Each structure stands twice: as structure tokens, then as C-alpha cells.
Amino acid sequence: MTLVIQKYGGTSVGTVERINAVADRVISHKKKGQNIVVAVSAMSGETNRLTALAQQITEQPRGRELDVLLSTGEQVTIALLCMALEAKGYTAKSYTGGQVRILTNSVHNKARILSIDEQKIKRDLGDGHIVVVAGFQGVDEHGNITTLGRGGSDTTAVALAAALKADECQIYTDVDGVYTTDPRIVPAARRLKSITYEEMLEMASLGAKVLQIRSVEFAQKYNVPMRVLSSFEDGEGTLITSEDNTMEQVMISGVTANRDEAKVTLQGVPDEPGVAVAILGPVADAGIEVDMIIQNVSADGTTDFTFTVNRNDYIQTQTILEKVKHRLNARSVDGDEKIVKLSVVGIGMRSHAGVASKMFKALSDEGINIQMISTSEIKISVVVEEKYLELGVRTLHSAFGLDES
């Protein structure tokens, strides 16, 4: 019998009416003869309400107690969803993370799942029950309640799918799938029928917000087929799976834009061994993550060293570089917040040459100047002026033939 894990996020269970709608959707699958395990988030707004209560008491609640507090959010949802399923004539059984049990490490507020005891769930499924599990939460080996951090419910769903060897892990959200790019920027954006884990990981890390990176990594590791679907309308959604299962032979699957980064440059650095470490060491020591890095050599024997950081770290990074400048006897610290990183992602570029030149030509034809370039096996990213975000995305989307015909 087919076993499907379904995950519904906070918006999908945000009201009693929506919980009833989720129950109907679950039942429609059950009627097809599928076994169903549902993982749910807290009702939208609930986590904020609880966090606000904690903040009224202390600005820095201890992680252990914050997890005890926040984990009540999903516990409310599992109870209400089971009630809705039972009111509609189906037997259902709820489990908190601790009850399953979902064993995690002891890092409160961002725990990692270590293992899932699937025995109770298997028995319940065998008895014909629909099983509803609280997402986002678990317990450590001492029985302390833990939470998994942002997007944890997706991870719970995938972990359940892996432990139960489910046929598919369905992530229900407020969009109906993964798109070639943001449809708000490019109305001609197409929903992808399928995409590989690698592509999804690149797209997620480049700004596509449909799925949490951790859950995709988890799915890839255990080869769990994931599917992104809408909670509010019917449809096939987008299947995320390993390369072998991908039927579409396209060069590029998607175009992303990320304006969370800022660019800083240390100019006129003596071109000597160890310069990169001297510059990036203090940045890393401050806990600042660096994304793209470029180093150019000038004719005068000095070098310009440029890298990008999160915009939130922009000011602090400049302060650090001012100190580095004096130490290295460099010329100046420069920077720009008004940038955007445009990326094309596609497993197809492994076997197709010319993706980079096609990308650069398309941008150049529109008069968009490229400031930085970075590449990986299945991705090319460029930094351009922020004002070119929409034009750049539309240009690339069209250049790589992604527009809906």
C-alpha cells in the first residue's frame, strides 16, 4: 500500500476552517487507499504570540524553556486536526515529537534529528488510522523538548518519510510548485514538473523560498521523493528527486535573484602570499559569512580584493576592513550595498557548454554590467547593480527558453 507523508505549514492550518480543509484533503488521499502520515506546523501567528509572551518576561529566554513554550504551537494543531478528521468519520492519532519519539541532539532552538522510532506509527497505520505528527519538535536523549528551528516542520516530514520508507513526501504550501523564477517578476514563469535535489538546493540557497535547505538535504541524503503542492488548489506540483528520475532534458531549470548581499572591496593590497587569510580571517572570526570572493592583480603589484557578505553584516565588515587596511598598508576600503546576485541553475549545464557565455551576452545586450562572477557545477551567479534585478531576471529567463510558450 502506498505510504504518503504530507506536511502542512502554518498558513495551511491557520484557522479552524483551513484545518477542516486540510482534513478534507487528507481524507481524499486516504480514500484512494493510501496510508497517510501528516506533519503540521503551528497555526500561523501562534509562534509569534508565544515568542511575544516570552519576550515580555525576558529578552533572552533560555533555549530549553523556549522550546517547551514554542512546541505547544504544533501540539495544538495536531489535536485540532485529529478532531477534524474524526468528526469526518476517520480515526486519527496525534503524536508530539516526544511521543513518536523523534530523537534529536540537545541544541535547543535548532536541534538536529538523530533518529525516529517508527514502531507506533507503523502499528497505527496497520490499524487503519491516519497519523498526525507535530512538526518542528523532538526530544533529546534526556527527554528534554527540543525544536528544530526555522523550517523544521519540512525536515520532520522528510525524516518521517525516510524512517517509514514512504513513497513520497508532499510539502503543502501557499504556492503550487517550484517555478523557473519568481512569477511576480516574470509573469511568464513556468511551474517545473520536476527538479533535482541539487538544483533545488542551489535555488533555495540563492533565494527561492519554497523549501528549507535542510529538508532538501535530508531528502537527498535518504533519497526521499519530495513534492511541493498547494494547500489551496489541486495540481501536480513539483517533484524533487534524484537526477535519474528527471525526465526534462533542459539546460537551465531556473533563474534566481538575491538582494540580501552587499559587496566590500579592499583596494591596493600588496600582492603577497597570505593576503586572503589576513583579510578574511578577521571577518570569519566575527562570525560573518562570506559568499563570493574575487581577487584581481593590478599592474603595480597590488591587488584588489572583493567579496560579498549579508547586508546585515555590511557595516561591521567595513569596520573590520578598516583595521585590516592599516595592518596590510592597503589603499582604501570600498563597498556597495545596492547589488543583486542573479543566478542560473541547472543540472543540464554539466553537459552543455556555453551557458556562461550565453548568460553574459544576454546581460550585455541589455547594457547590464557584470561586477562579479562565481560558478559551481550546476550554477552561474553574477553580481550586477540592484536596479537591474527585474530586467536581468526577465532577460535570463527568456534567453534560456524558460518562458511559458
Binding residues vs a second copy (CB under 8 A): 16, 19-20, 50, 53-54, 56-58, 61-62, 64-66, 68-69, 71-72, 75-76, 78-80, 82-84, 86-87, 92-94, 96, 98-99, 143, 145
Q: Which is nearer to a second copy, 117 or 366 (CB)?
A: 117
d(CA 109, CA 147) in angstroms, rounded, equals: 5
The least distance separating a second copy from the CB of residue 99, rounded to whole angstroms, comes to: 6
Q: Which is nearer to a second copy, 43 or 204 (CB)?
A: 43
The least distance separating a second copy from the CB of residue 23, rounded to whole angstroms, comes to: 9
CB atoms within 10 A of CB 306: 20
Q: Which is nearer to a second copy, 64 or 259 (CB)?
A: 64
The least distance separating a second copy from the CB of residue 256, rounded to whole angstroms, comes to: 38
Q: Which is nearer to a second copy, 30 or 193 (CB)?
A: 30
The least distance separating a second copy from the CB of residue 46, rounded to whole angstroms, comes to: 10
Task: Give, in order, the Cα–Cα distances in Å from 263 to each of 312, 317, 379.
Answer: 12, 10, 20
Cell numbers linked to 165: 520508507
H-helix or E-strand spanning residue 399: helix 389-399
The least distance separating a second copy from the CB of residue 183, rounded to whole angstroms, comes to: 34
Q: Which is nearer to a second copy, 78 or 368 (CB)?
A: 78
Q: Which amino acid is at 184?
A: R
Q: With helix as H, strand as E and coil as C, how does 91-147 read?
A: CEEEECHHHHCEEECCCCCCCCEEEECCHHHHHHHHCCCEEEEECCEEECCCCCEEE
The least distance separating a second copy from the CB of residue 165, rounded to whole angstroms, comes to: 23
Q: What share of the chain is helix, strand, coil (3-state, %, to 5)?
A: 40, 25, 35
> Under a CB-based contact definition with an 8 Å cutoff, are residues 231 and 22 in contact?
yes
The least distance separating a second copy from the CB of residue 127, rounded to whole angstroms, comes to: 13
DSSP at 167 = S
Q: Which is nearer to a second copy, 76 or 293 (CB)?
A: 76
For cell 487503519, the residue is 128
Q: Which is nearer to a second copy, 66 or 148 (CB)?
A: 66
Q: Which is nearer to a second copy, 1 or 57 (CB)?
A: 57
Beta pairing class for 261-270 and 332-336: antiparallel
Measured at the CA of 294, the angle between CA 290 and CA 300, to 5 degrees, comes to: 135
Q: Which is nearer to a second copy, 94 or 258 (CB)?
A: 94
DSSP at 193 = S
The least distance separating a second copy from the CB of residue 81, rounded to whole angstroms, comes to: 9
Q: At 305, phi and psi to the nearest 5?
A: -115, 115
d(CA 287, CA 264) in angstroms, rounded, equals: 16
**Beta-bridge mates of residue 342:** 257, 382
Provide the greatest CA pair distance for the chain: 80
The least distance separating a second copy from the CB of residue 58, rounded to whole angstroms, comes to: 4
